[in-house]
Chain A
């Protein structure tokens, strides 16, 4: 009885506020992110895009004095609920960072490490190959799996980071400007990869690059600082990417996507 108007929701936020001390960096976010789609978060610098995406896998826990009010629901469970283990949250919600950050280990170990600490007992060689294929990296590295990950180019390193993330089979993959440190060709490969990945995973991507958001995403959340001068960011518009770029409701969104911002 799948109703086309009630899509599967991977994760949703309810009245979410994110604070650094007494400062609300992000306020009142209510979005529902659909399963197996790419959702882009766009907006000017300093509007809280990264803060928001890092709230999804509790990476903000490492910032002293940060805390959250409201809820982020993954399959009905509040990620900030009382008995929630952040380590388990991160296992379910993986993340790819702005700058490629492979571990100081071999290419093989970069993939196997995460699986190992998460208790993977199956055939490791198979998992490594599968993950590298999934990240469209296998053919380039299959002959040098024992080599250090630092011998790879920046774009390859980033795909390795994607491979190690899919090796632990998360439900959601967060990407915080994953291509901003890469050249155009590597960027294109990452973007193509995202289209492959969304067949199995839900992807949330923060990007500065509006063309990229338009190219890769199904939905777009437009973030902006609140008008009241509080320096607090919020989602001002959230809908299908097509609508955001062709027929935005909010004047500020229109100004931003057409480059008339500021």
Chain B
């Protein structure tokens, strides 16, 4: 009985003590989180440093000038042609085709899944889309070369469509990005509060009017994030373009012609025998830096567009 009392007293009548307490657990967690954050920043900086260092050597070469790099349209570093544009344009063309395919299609799929599909249809469709996301890109590459290209040739004629061409690589890349865009957009659409839909329905809106004119704008920032990731993915994609888009820089705006992208070029050149310090070797880093820059610029542009159109919701 006596002992019980003291326990009670210890628990309930602890003397008032407002002094700072040591909480070692808190500091450990805080330190771990800080290190994790620092680590990712460090890795990014290290990559930029490494790219920059080698690219510096490339631009330090007396034959290479910025005027040539940005002002000419032939890329043959081995024989003194340093115009980056053929690689940039083919990257932009394949990526644009991919986005033109995947954004509308992905949005349509997302709208269907989040607004129209019955739970049953949704649970059948989502795994299929996820399978699409799980296909290795090398398979997509041969799909482009062996299915999409013959298909395009049968539509537009063999004279128009070359065996290796940007269009088929871009289209297949669009299919590859589709599940990414649709699943991210669907998350954004599903996160729109039910109250907003009810508000629209209560105004006498149809399902389509509600989905497209109220729910979609409310989910715009999430859809924008999906678009940005899709663009980055398209620009960075290597295997499909390396297999199907062509293997040689070619300055053309005709999507049915073969033209090598920045990533495809890096993959092909770095696969061969390269001696360090050769101009071919350092040029790869210049291309990589350029790739980094293009991605960054496009991300900033799309971020800007989204911010302009973003309509916040609670």
Contacts and interface: CB of A to CB of B under 8 A. Distances in A.
B203 A101 contact: no
A49 interface: no
Contacts of A161: 199
B206 interface: yes
Nearest to A104: B311
Contacts of B311: 104-105, 148
B313 interface: yes
Interface string B150-164: 000000000000000
Contacts of A97: 195, 198-199, 202
B72 interface: no
A150 B201 contact: no
Given A88-B204, A150-B314, A59 B198 contact: yes
A14 B200 CA distance: 28
Interface string A95-125: 1010101111100000001100110000000
Interface in B206-226: 206, 209, 213-214, 217-218
A59 B200 CA distance: 11
B218 to A, nearest CB: 4
A173 to B, nearest CB: 10
B204 A90 contact: yes
B196 interface: yes
Nearest to A105: B311
Contacts of A105: 217, 311
B105 interface: no
A101 B201 CA distance: 12
A120 B200 CA distance: 16
Contact of A87 (B199, B204, B213): B204
Interface string B291-314: 000000000000000000001111
Nearest to B197: A62
Contacts of A35: none
A101 B204 contact: no
A103 B196 contact: yes
A164 interface: yes
Name, among A91, A99, A103, the residue most crowded by chain B CB atoms within 10 Å (CB to CB).
A103
B202 A104 contact: no
Contacts, number: 71
Nearest to B203: A114
Given A104-B214, A105-B311, A148-B311, A117 B198 contact: no
B193 to A, nearest CB: 7
Contacts of A102: 199
B312 A101 contact: no
B204 A118 contact: yes
Interface string A219-247: 00000000000000000000000000000
Contacts of A217: none
Nearest to A86: B201
B204 A104 contact: no
A105 B220 CA distance: 12
Given A150-B312, A161-B199, A168 B204 contact: yes
Nearest to B209: A117
B133 interface: no
B196 A90 contact: no
Interface string A125-155: 0000000000000000000000010100000
A148 B204 contact: no
Contacts of B218: 103-104
A101 B198 contact: yes
Contacts of A62: 198, 201
A18 B217 CA distance: 34
A90 B209 CA distance: 14
A91 B204 contact: yes
B202 A57 contact: yes
A82 B308 CA distance: 46
B205 interface: yes
B203 A94 contact: yes
14 contacts: A57-B202, A62-B198, A91-B203, A94-B203, A97-B198, A97-B199, A104-B196, A104-B218, A104-B313, A105-B311, A113-B203, A114-B204, A165-B202, A168-B204
Interface of B: 193, 195-196, 198-206, 209, 213-214, 217-218, 311-314
**Across the A-B interface, the 8 shortest Cβ-Cβ residue pairs:** A91-B204, A104-B311, A114-B203, A95-B202, A101-B199, A101-B195, A104-B218, A104-B313
Given A88-B204, A114-B204, A161-B199, 20 more contacts: A87-B204, A87-B205, A90-B201, A90-B204, A94-B203, A95-B198, A104-B196, A104-B217, A104-B312, A104-B313, A105-B217, A105-B311, A113-B203, A113-B213, A113-B214, A117-B204, A118-B203, A118-B204, A148-B312, A168-B204
